[in-house]
A and B are shown apart, each in its own frame.
Chain A
Amino acid sequence: MTNSPVLKVENLQTRFKSVQRGKFIHAVDDVSIELYPGEIVGLVGESGCGKSTLGRTIVGLEKASAGRVLLDGVDLSTLSGAALRKSRRALQYVFQDPYSCLNDRQTVGEAIDEALLIDGRSSQDERDRRTKELLDQVGLANAVKDRHTRELSGGQRQRVAIARSLAVNPRVLICDEPVSALDLSIRAQVMNLFLRLQKDLGVACLFIAHDLALVRQAASRVYVMYLGKIVEQGPSQELYDHPSHPYSQMLLASVPEVDPRVEKLRNGPLLVGEVPSPTNPPSGCRFRTRCPLAVESCSRKMPAAHGLSFGHSAACLFAPELHEGRRSALH
C-alpha cells in the first residue's frame, strides 16, 4: 500500500442558486477528504446533509464552486479535453437505484460493451472477452449477457451496474447508497462483492450510506457529515466505539436494536427536529440548533476540528471530553 492518497478532496464547496433571489444553498461547504488505494471509506449523515452532492461533485456531475479534487495528485480542474475524460474514467459512480441507472432496452452485453467502447477498445473479440471477465468478477453467469436488463432482479441489476463501472478500470468507486434499494437477503451478497473488489482489484470505494451498521462493517474509516460539513472523522472501530461529536453520538444512538430485550432498555433522548435548511444555516456550529450541549459560544464560530487520536478528529468544543467519556450528548 502506498502512502499517497489516490483521491484527495481539498476544501471543496458546491453551492446551488436558491429560489430566493441572490441566495445560495451551500450543499457542500469546505469539505476535505482523502481516499487511499484499496480502502473502503464510509460517508454517513442524514438526507439533505450534502453527502450525495459531495459524491457527485467529485465525479464532476456537479460543478464545484471552490476547492480542488485531486486524482493521483493531479488537480482535475486543470485538465480538459481528452486528458480530463481519461482521468474521469478512473472515477466511477455506482447509483442507488439499479432500476433507473440501466437502459431497459439494452441487453446486459450491450450495456457493458458500450462502456468498453468508450474506454477505446475497438476489437470486438477483446470486448467480448472482457465482458465475460467482468460478469465473472461481479458474480453473474456469462449467459446473462443476452438478457435484457429489465428482465433482471434488483440484485442482478446492481451487479451489472457495478460491472459497467469496472469496465473502464477505475481507481475509485463512488458508491451512493448502492444497496439501500435491495432486499435484505440480497444486500449481503452485493456488500460482499464490494469487499472482494476492494481486495482483488485494489479499487478504493467512497461508500455513501445512511445505514450505519453496514458502514461500520465495510469501511475502515468513516466521515460523518452534517449540513454540508464534515463534523467527525476517524477509523471505524474508534469512531463507533468513541463517537466524539454530539451529532455522531445521537446518530449512532438512534439505530434501533433487533433484540427486543435490548431495545426495551434503549431509551435515550432522540435527536429532535430535522436538518435545518442549508440556505440559511445556523451561525457558528451548524449542529447547535439540535445539540443538547450547545453553549453560547457555539453560535459565534464554527468549532475547529480537535485531533483526538490517530486519524480521529471531531469539530466540537467538547470533543476531548466527549471522547474520554467525561461528557455525553445522550444523558
Chain B
Amino acid sequence: MHDEPLLNVSNLTVNLLTAKSAVRPVDGVSYSVRQGECLAIVGESGSGKTVMNFAPLGLMPTGVTTILSGSVKLEGRELIGLPEAEIQKLRGKSVGFIFQDPMSALNPVRRIGRQIAEMAELHLTMTPRAAEARALELVKLVGISDPAARLRQYPHELSGGLRQRIVIAIALAGEPKLLIADEPTTALDVTVQAQILRLLKDVQRRLNMGMVLITHDMGVVAGAADNIVVMYAARAAECGPVDKVLVNPRHPYTKGLINAIPRKEDPIGSEFRGLPGVPPTLGAPIRGCAFAPRCELAVATCSRNRPPMVPTGDGNVSVACPVVNQGKAAA
C-alpha cells in the first residue's frame, strides 16, 4: 500500500459568485481516496456533493466565478491554483468521469466507436487505428455483447443500460487512476442498476483504480464502497468505513437517513419514517451546525458553533456532532 493517498482533499471550500448572488456549496470538507479504494459521497440535492468533486477539476458552468480554497492533491500534485491548461490534461486522462444521464453525456451524431477511440487518441496519443482497436477492447471490458457491431452504432440505438456502459468505456479509455462517478445509476432501472454497479466494482478492482461514487441513494453504497462521507448542507456530517457507518450510524442526520429507508419488517400501511423539516437553502454559511433545526438531539451550543469533525476512536469514523462526541467522551 502506498503511503500517499491517490486523492487527498483537505479543508476544501468552494465559493460560487454569480452576477446576483454568492453561495458556498462546499464548506471545509476533507477526505481521501487510496488506489483501489472506493469512496461513496452521499448527500441530498444541494448538499454540495457534485460541486465538491467537479469544481477542483474545472467542471463548472460558465458565468459563475469559482473560488477554491483548501487543498486538493491528486497523486501528490496540488490542483488548486493549477492553470486550466494543466487541469485539462488531467481530465479524461488521470481522472475519468461518469455522469448521471448517459444520453446527454454522449454525442448523438457520432458513432460509439469513434467516441471511445477519440479519448484514446487524445490522451494516450494513439494512432486512429490503434485507438479503434482499443475501443473494441474497452467495449468488451464493459461487458457488451456483439462489440464489433456496437462500435458502428449511434447512442440513440442503444438502451439506457448499454449507453451507461459506453460512458464507462469512455471514462476508462484514458487509463485513469481515479474514476469519478456522479450518480451513475440514478437514471437506470433497479435491475440495470445492479448490473452497472457490479460492472463498476469489477473494473475498479481489476484496473486497481480509485473511485469516488457520488450518490443520494444509501442503497447503492453498501455493495460498492469501502468508505463513505455523508454530506449535509455543504459540510461533512460523518465519515468512515462503510461497515461501521452504515451498521452503526452516529450522526443524527446519518441515523435519520438510514432509518428513513423502508424495511422488510415494516408493517404494510404503517407510517413512513423520515426526518422532520427541510434542508436549508444554500446561501451564506451557517454559523452553528446546519442540521440543528431538524435535529432531535440539538442543544443550545449547536446553533452557536460549527461542530468540528472529531474522530470517534472507532476505526477511522469521524463525526461532526458535539452531542454525539461529548457522549463518547463521557462514556
Contacts and interface: CB of A to CB of B under 8 A. Distances in A.
Interface of A: 40, 46-47, 153-156, 183-189, 191-192, 195, 210-214, 216-220, 236-237, 240, 250-251, 254-264, 266, 270-272, 274
A217 B242 contact: no
A260 B242 contact: yes
Contact of B223 (A195, A219, A256): A256
B58 interface: no
Contacts of A47: 160, 189
Interface of B: 44-45, 159-162, 189-195, 197-198, 216-223, 242-243, 246-247, 256-258, 260-264, 266-275, 278-279
Contacts of B159: 274
A141 B275 CA distance: 19
Given A259-B222, A260-B242, A261-B247, A217 B258 contact: no
B246 A258 contact: yes
B222 A258 contact: yes
B268 A260 contact: no
B222 A257 contact: yes
A91 to B, nearest CB: 23
A250 B190 CA distance: 10
Contacts of A184: 44, 216-218, 257, 260-261
Contacts of A274: 159-162, 189, 191-192
A185 to B, nearest CB: 4
A259 B268 contact: no
A214 B262 contact: yes
A261 B258 CA distance: 15
A52 to B, nearest CB: 13
A187 B262 CA distance: 11
A261 to B, nearest CB: 7
Given A210-B190, A274-B160, A183 B247 contact: no
A278 to B, nearest CB: 13
A217 B192 CA distance: 23
Nearest to A255: B190
B267 to A, nearest CB: 8
Contacts of B258: 258
A259 B272 contact: no
A255 B219 CA distance: 8
B242 A46 contact: no
B272 A188 contact: yes
B193 to A, nearest CB: 7
Given A184-B218, A189-B274, A219-B268, A258 B261 contact: yes
Contacts of A183: 44-45, 216, 279
B247 A259 contact: yes
A202 B193 CA distance: 36
Contacts of A260: 222-223, 242-243, 246-247
B262 A270 contact: no
Given A183-B44, A185-B257, A213-B262, A237 B190 contact: no
Contact of B274 (A185, A213, A257, A271): A185
Contacts of B192: 46, 274
Nearest to B225: A260
Contacts of A211: 190
B44 A270 contact: no
A120 B246 CA distance: 53
8 contacts: A187-B260, A188-B274, A188-B275, A213-B264, A214-B262, A216-B264, A271-B194, A274-B192
Given A192-B271, A210-B190, 15 more contacts: A47-B189, A184-B257, A185-B274, A187-B274, A195-B272, A212-B190, A213-B261, A213-B264, A216-B262, A216-B266, A237-B268, A251-B190, A261-B243, A270-B191, A274-B160
